[in-house]
Amino acid sequence: MDGEELIDALEGRGCKVREAIEGTFMGDAGFYLRMLRKLPQSKCFSRLEAAMATGVVRDVFESAHELKGLYANLGLTPLCALASEITEIARAGHVDGAPGKFEKLGGLHAECLALLA
Amino acid sequence: MSTLVAWALSFGCAVGWGAFVVPGTVFLPTAGPLGTAIGMAIGAFALGVIAQNYRFMACRSKTAGGAFEFAKMAFGDDHGFVAAWFIVITYFAILWANTTAVVFIIRHLCGPLLQFGFTYSVMGYDVWFGEAAFCSATVLLAALLCVARTDLAIRALVALALLAFGGIVATFAMTVAKTPGPVGAMAPYFSSGAPLPLQILAIIALVPWAFVGFEAVSHSSERFAFPSRRVFGVMACALAAGALSYIMLTFIPAMSPPGGFASWTESVAAGSAAHPVPSAAGAEQAIGPLGTALVIAAMTGAIGTTLIGNTLTLSRIMRAMSENGMLPDGIAKRGRNGRPCRAILIVGCVSAVIPFMGRTIISVIVDINSIGAAIAYGYTSAAAFKFARDERRRGAAAAGAAGVVISAIFLTVLLVPSIFDGAMLSTESYLVLGIWGMLGLIHFRRVFANDTEKRFGRSTVVWGALLALIFSAISAWQFEAARDASRSMLEHIRRARESVSGSGMSGEDADRFVAGELKVIEDGVVRKSAIQAALLAASLALMVNLYSTLRRRETEMERRKIEAEETSRAKNAFLANVSHDMRTPLNAIIGFAGLARTDEGLTRERMRDYAAKIEAAGDSLLRFVDDILELRKLESGTYRLRPAPCDVAALMDGVRDLFATQAAARHLDFHVACDGLEHRRVVCDGQLLKRVVSNLTGNAIKYTPPGGRVSVTLDEGGEAEPGFAAYTFTVSDTGIGMSREFASKVFDAFTREEDAASQADGAGLGMSIARNIVEMMGGTIGLETEKGKGSVFTVKVAMPVAGDEGGAPGGDAGIDAGRTSGSTERGGPPVRSVLVAEDNEINREIVGSLLESRGIRYVMAADGSLAVSTLASSAPGTFDAVLMDMRMPVMNGVEATRAIRAMSDPSLSRIPVIALSADAANDADVDASGAGFDGFVSKPVRIDALLEAITEAMRRREASDEANGQMKG
């Protein structure tokens, strides 16, 4: 999938990629794609996955917060929203309801990785 | 709650508006008065068996609950969901049917008084705003009464139930008294249609519809003021009262046929349009206006009990579903009076909308009550059978089995339309049943997705059964629709023939007429087939989706189980290894201590020898324990690196010094080199890095035979982020090498190759510790080896270049020099160099590239601790500002900023620090942290915002410094 197709595919999934390219990446789509293609190597998601598995609220908060920032920079809006919801749940001192959101996030994250494959 | 209240609840849920209509319009034409009485009696007996099963299960249920709770207890949450799903629609349908029936009482008492406002027709039923609004207000009032004054609602329920039953009995008694020869007046005693057994069976099949009320009792059990074993007695009394009511309300129009006909058969043949409530019409004919008044009073009582009883029962069922994750959490919340107020209000509000949809739709939904009730009875009986069998209680098990058979018969008769001449349900009811089943699948999909406790999805059989029910219902709908269409066509042909009798219809006209009729049927079949196909396809798709999700979850659970087993195995292996490696030196200590104690001719020299051996074994044990503790810390992630400026060339010199003597003693060609380094000083945990290199070097020396060669080299080069330097440590030897099998697990703890283990001591932890340290530093460790030829270990790690490394302006070699300084469009002090603390590698690269695009030099730190040490070791003025991510491992942004503010050098401690965070609304938190941030930038980062924040912070800092200078001056 070439860069433009990838951007279209992500936009089609509700991501605000073009906004991110203009805002964060100063209109440089190549720079954006270079960063996006690093997503599969990032350990952020695995850290959240591990935190969810152990259920340690602080770890869930830290790792979800980190993911939130990453998704925000990359314009992956729906993923950012879910990471943000998990962050807020954990900020409240529990993980009730977080697994459902994490499952959804996992699906979207996997979808992104599939597009990047 | 007394037995009388429980009776009133059960009776109220069973006998409502329908009890005054159906006996005259359905029971009588189906089986005649005696057939109805026999059918009702047999049906009541059959339901007595079900009531016994309810009692049996109520005594075993720890909480209040009906078929839902029992199905859950016996077969799991999936079955509980199915039971609850059908019970809910059953009770809602009864409530809605009685809500909309209020209008009939109003019309009788007030005529068209409430027929004002707008009007419209829904499926042939005329809805008037005034009437619909009154019905809505009635059901809302009932709900509000249940919420606000439950005690009053309960009292009203009992009074209304007594009014209903008393009214029916009084009406019946007076009708008997006023009818000459009442028994003879009811002739013929059976219907003339189907064979007698089928007539009676048809009445029995309607019994579940007539006696929906058991749940009302079992769901109230937590409020019982009597033992659960009395539940059967209460239900039996409600059953008896219900059966008697239905029989009496059948006998009234049979004794006194509405319309002044000589017998009920003629009255039935004349149709029910003129007398929609045959019991009332019959009573009026026999007794006069008093009869009507009595029936209206009884009807008011029956509808009132149904509104209150069903609202309370439904709210309890919904609360139970909510508590079990099948409905949103908030529904289960109880009010101050302990009642599920939210659930009651939801029931009231949902029901308040229904009167605006007319009665025809509701009559279609009401028909599936029998199915819902039969499913609930089936589950309760099956649960009773299971529990009774487990408890070896034969009588109860027999009752449970009988209940299952009875429920199965009910379901079969209801779902298979061709058993009787006409179906037991209306045609559209089958469609409603199919759609409700499909909605159940959709809702279950949601429940399943939110099921964090993995309670659902354990029984695929139940979902197969639900799918079969949907298929059966939709097929029955198609079958019945085709039969209706055929009958309609025959009726049209008959009418056409009658209309042209005498004049005759030409062959061409007849052909055209039949073709037209066939076209209508064909269109209907095509339309319904499309709906059928769509519903079936949607149900199948849902099932497939559900199944695949289930499989994924099972696979995941299986994976976790395997992981847990592996962890357990690893733990056992660990304990075995620890035990073994501790015993070896301990045996030596005990052995030599024993020798020292028992050796009669112990010389001083030999004693020294023993003591030296004991000391060596003790040292070995201590090292082992230290290694274990260190490994545990490393693997658990609690080990913290202590980064500080470090000279890697000096580190290599240290390694050379450490091993030179040992290598010489073993006659090895030992060579250490680190030529051509561009950056000697980096920020890292030098102690740990040295430990890694030492571990590898020590092993190389240990496993290389005399005359061999051991080489330790350090090279700089390769890809590294700006401000970082990449290094490769290589430890090679010409030693004994490793087998391919052992090489694959050399970095696992407690691994030693058999022949190598005999050559040297050690617990096999060194390589595991080395790997953990390297990975913690963000590096990699690799091995190339060949048995008998030697090994080459390679450690690759990138480290931030220390600030005191000479070369670049400002004193930092990690900073690119010569770029244009960045500044904002608004001007302000130019930003030349920034220290960025950000743990996420992608975000680091993004921020770095953004700064680079504005010609701003930067150094990256992967956590707060590294940022602090980098700043601390930098020359004053190297950095104009620090961009500090708030959430980082090791040391977060707040802690790192506090550490910076605590630095003794004011040129460092007063550096502007700008917080970076993904929390858009977190600037208040940043201020509140008190760490001393000078600004806040939210992610996603924007270079302009970033520069704006930095320059603003620098401007404020400069202004503040100037002010301080003037004050001091």
Q: Per residue in B566-614, pLDDT tens?
A: 777 767 766 776 776 777 778 878 888 888 888 777 788 888 888 888 8
B360-374, B412-426, B835-849: least confidently modelled range: B412-426
Answer whether A7 touches B (CB < 8 Å): no
Of B842, B853, B917, the CB nearest to A70: B842
Model confidence at B926, in pLDDT bands (50, 70, 90)?
Answer: low
Residue B536 token pair: 């079936």
Position B734 scores a pLDDT of 93
CA–CA separation, A71 and A77 (whole Å): 7
Query: How many angstroms separate the CA of residue A62 from the nearest CA in chain B?
Result: 7
Residue B33 token pair: 């008065």
Cα torsion angle, B235, B236, B241, B247, sign: positive
For the cut 80, the answer to whether the pLDDT of residue B634 exceeds it is no
ipTM exceeding 0.90, yes/no: no
Would you tell me which residues 843-862 of chain B have a C-beta closer than 8 angstroms to some C-beta of chain A?
843, 845-846, 849-850, 853
Among candidate residues B946, B876, B930, B936, the one with its CA nearest the CA of residue B908: B876
Position B288 scores a pLDDT of 87
Position B879 scores a pLDDT of 87
Answer whether A100 touches B (CB < 8 Å): yes
Q: Which of B286-290, B505-509, B707-711, B816-820 has the highest mean pLDDT?
A: B707-711
For the segment B31-58, the average pLDDT, to the nearest whole number, is 90
Q: Please write the tens of the pLDDT for every residue from B430-450.
A: 888 888 888 888 888 888 888
More confident residue, B507 or A20: A20
For the cut 50, the answer to whether the pLDDT of residue B809 exceeds it is no
Of A26, A39, A84, the CB nearest to B853: A26
Position B245 scores a pLDDT of 92
A1-15, B521-535, B638-652, B745-759: least confidently modelled range: B745-759
How wide is the angle at C-alpha A110 spanned by C-alphas A106 and A115, nearest 5°? 150
Q: Please write the tens of the pLDDT for every residue from B297-312.
A: 999 999 998 898 888 8
CA–CA separation, B630 and B639 (whole Å): 8
How far is C-alpha B227 from the chain's CA centre?
36
Position B758 scores a pLDDT of 46
Q: Please write the tens of the pLDDT for every residue from A2-45.
A: 788 889 889 998 999 998 898 888 888 888 888 898 888 888 88
pTM over 0.80: no
For the segment B417-435, the average pLDDT, to the nearest whole number, is 73
Position B803 scores a pLDDT of 62
Position B704 scores a pLDDT of 92
CA–CA separation, B582 and B763 (whole Å): 9
Model confidence at A80, in pLDDT bands (50, 70, 90)?
Answer: very high
Q: Half-sphere exposure of B939 toward its Cβ, with a 13 Å CA cutoff?
A: 33
Position A108 scores a pLDDT of 92
- Indicate the average pLDDT of chain A: 89
Question: B8: Cβ–Cβ under 8 A, 6 or more apart, which residues?
Answer: B157, B158, B160, B161, B162, B305, B309
For the segment B665-687, the average pLDDT, to the nearest whole number, is 87
Count Cβ neighbours within 10 Å for each residue of B435-459 and write b for 16 or more, e otherwise: bbbbebbeebeebbeebeeebbbeb
CA–CA separation, A76 and A83 (whole Å): 11
CA–CA separation, B630 and B779 (whole Å): 19
Position A82 scores a pLDDT of 93
Of B449, B840, B940, the CB nearest to A20: B940
CA–CA separation, B16 and B249 (whole Å): 12
Q: Identify the bridge partners of residue B783 per DSSP, sorted by sequence position.
A: B793
Position B349 scores a pLDDT of 93
Percent of chain B with pLDDT over 90: 17
Position A78 scores a pLDDT of 93
3-class secondary structure, B738: coil
Q: Which residues of B touch A44 (CB under 8 A)?
A: 840
For the cut 60, the answer to whether the pLDDT of residue B849 exceeds it is yes
For the cut 90, the answer to whether the pLDDT of residue B730 exceeds it is yes
Q: Please write the tens of the pLDDT for every residue from B446-503.
A: 888 888 777 777 777 777 888 888 888 888 888 888 888 888 888 877 777 777 665 5
Q: Which residues of B touch A73 (CB under 8 A)?
A: 842-843, 846, 939-941
- Indicate the average pLDDT of chain B: 81
Answer whether A84 touches B (CB < 8 Å): yes
Position B761 scores a pLDDT of 52
